[in-house]
Amino acid sequence: MRKLILFFIGIVVILAAFFTAKWIIDNNTKEQPPAQKIIKTVFAETVTNKTVPVIIPTNGVLTAKNRLELFAEVQGVFQYSAHPFKTGQEYRRGETLIRINAAEFYASLQAAKSDFYNLITSLMPDLRLDYQEAFPVWQQYLNNFDLNKSTPPLPEVGSENVKYFITGRGVYTAYYNLKNLEQRLGKYTITAPFNGILTEALVTEGTLVRPGQQLGEYIDTSVFEVELAIQKNFSDLLQIGEKVELSTLNSDETFSGTVSRINGKIDQATQTIKVYVEVNEDGLKEGMYLEAELEAREIENSYEISRKLLVDESKIYYVKDSILDIMEIDPVYFSPKQVIVKGIPDGTRILSRPIPGAYVGMLIKVEQDAPVPTTEQSLNTTE
């Protein structure tokens, strides 16, 4: 009897546990809320086709247009300069950059002048006797001859006989040898051909200078050039005299330049053409890295958008009745950040900022017409 009672009690406990668990499971089911539609808030702009200029971005290094590399053509000791011959020193036009001691050579030149004067003097008796018509001219030449000045040109010879006589005595040979020495004497002094600055100084006063030795470098700081490389496709669209806007890397300074030269040869390695832009504004230094935007041509009935808006390089999303749709377009010109396209009808509202995960048929809400942002921003919000 005791075992039977315990058996029935066990069955009751098991049944009670089963129904209790079933009741808990049935009452634990939560009702799922109805699915909510997610609408993206986007920015859009209305397309108005117009004539868009093709801007070619390029860059180059600024160099002085007028440059003088100083080399010695004679030998001697560096004796004098109008200012300390050091890097950064400014000189005015006509001032002496370098003067090499020419005392020994000058003495040789004076000796040659004296020999030439004696040669002319030895001709005078014969000229008086045989060529009386030529004697006064040569007498006047001797009277005006000064050993301390440049040798004057020889008198004009009207008679062939006088010319043969003068030539036979070696006058012309002695005269041109003397002029050659005078020209060489001028190489002992180097003067500044323009206002500028010394950018490199390789010698100092007292240094022994030898022929062919580089002495320094001198540049004009008023006019500079920047060499730009452009695609050969646009070579025929640029002309000499066109204005070019230049800027530094951080774009905190801008300069205006003019196309001064265009190379007629294409670089085989890069398939580009060198264009030289002349700049003569204040604040320029040789070696500055400048960027330029060249206006090569204009494309009619086109629109410029960000390259980030392109889909598969030839499609773009647009707004159609609060949903996204896609259309085929014709990209005409690609720049690093922008693209000029054709084929978008006027009045079409396109996205002005890309949407992550965009697809055709996506529900959207247009916030307002907005231009393409210049910095990275949050692209959308979720309601």
Each residue's pLDDT tens digit, 311-367: 888 888 888 888 888 888 888 877 778 888 888 888 888 888 888 888 888 887 777
Please tell me the distance from the alpha carbon of residue 95 to that of residue 189, in angstroms, as a whole number: 10
Reading phi first (left if > 0) and then psi (alpha if -120 to 50, else beta), residue 226 is in beta
Q: In the beta sheet, which residues pair with residue 170?
A: none
pLDDT confidence band for 29 (50 / 70 / 90): low
Element of type H or E holding 16: helix 2-27
What are the residue boundaries of the structural domains of the chain, listed by start? 41-53+300-382, 56-63+223-297, 66-101+188-219, 104-186
Does pLDDT of 83 surpass 50? Answer: yes
Element of type H or E holding 12: helix 2-27
pLDDT of res. 235: 67
Q: Is 154 exposed, middle or buried (0-12, 13-18, 19+ CB in 10 A)?
A: middle
In 3D space, the residue among 217, 238, 227 whose CA is nearest the CA of residue 278 turns out to be: 227
pLDDT of res. 111: 94
Each residue's pLDDT tens digit, 95-125: 999 999 999 999 999 999 999 999 999 988 8
DSSP three-state, residue 360: coil
pLDDT confidence band for 372 (50 / 70 / 90): very low
CA 62 to chain centre: 5
Q: Which of 44-48, 69-73, 255-259 has the highest mean pLDDT?
A: 69-73
Does pLDDT of 4 surpass 80? Answer: no
- The two beta strands, 40-46 and 349-351, are antiparallel
pLDDT of res. 374: 40
Each residue's pLDDT tens digit, 206-239: 999 999 999 999 999 889 999 888 877 776 667 7
Each residue's pLDDT tens digit, 225-234: 998 888 777 7
Integer CA distances (angstroms), 65 to 61, 261, 283, 308, 342, in order: 12, 12, 16, 41, 42
pLDDT of res. 35: 52
pLDDT of res. 264: 83
CATH 2.40.420, applies to 41-53+300-382: yes
Q: Look up the CATH architecture of domain 66-101+188-219.
A: Beta Barrel (2.40)
Q: Which residue has the higher pLDDT, 83 or 56?
A: 83
pLDDT of res. 219: 94
Q: Spell out the residues 6+ positions from residue 13 whose beta carbon is closer than 8 angstroms to its own.
A: none
Question: What mean pLDDT is reported for the chain?
Answer: 84
DSSP three-state, residue 99: strand
Integer CA distances (angstroms), 301 to 44, 48, 242, 314, in order: 20, 9, 24, 17
pLDDT of res. 174: 93
Could you tell me what percentage of the chain is helix, strand and coil, using 3-state DSSP and rounding each to the nearest 5? 25, 40, 35
Does pLDDT of 180 surpass 90? Answer: yes
DSSP three-state, residue 272: strand
Task: Copy the structure tokens of residue 25.
Answer: 């499971």
The CATH code belonging to domain 56-63+223-297 is: 2.40.30.170
Kindly state the percentage of the chain with pLDDT values over 70.
91
CA 287 to chain centre: 9
Provide the terminal-to-terminal Cα distance of the chain, rounded to the nearest Å: 72
Q: Which residue has the higher pLDDT, 244 or 95?
A: 95
Q: Spell out the residues 6+ positions from residue 159 whose beta carbon is closer than 8 angstroms to its own.
A: 131, 133, 134
DSSP three-state, residue 237: helix
Please tell me the distance from the alpha carbon of residue 334 to that of residue 57, in angstroms, as a whole number: 11
pLDDT confidence band for 371 (50 / 70 / 90): very low
Element of type H or E holding 163: helix 160-168
pLDDT of res. 228: 86
Please tell me the distance from the alpha carbon of residue 245 to that of residue 256, in angstroms, as a whole number: 5
In 3D space, the residue among 349, 319, 316 whose CA is nearest the CA of residue 330 turns out to be: 316
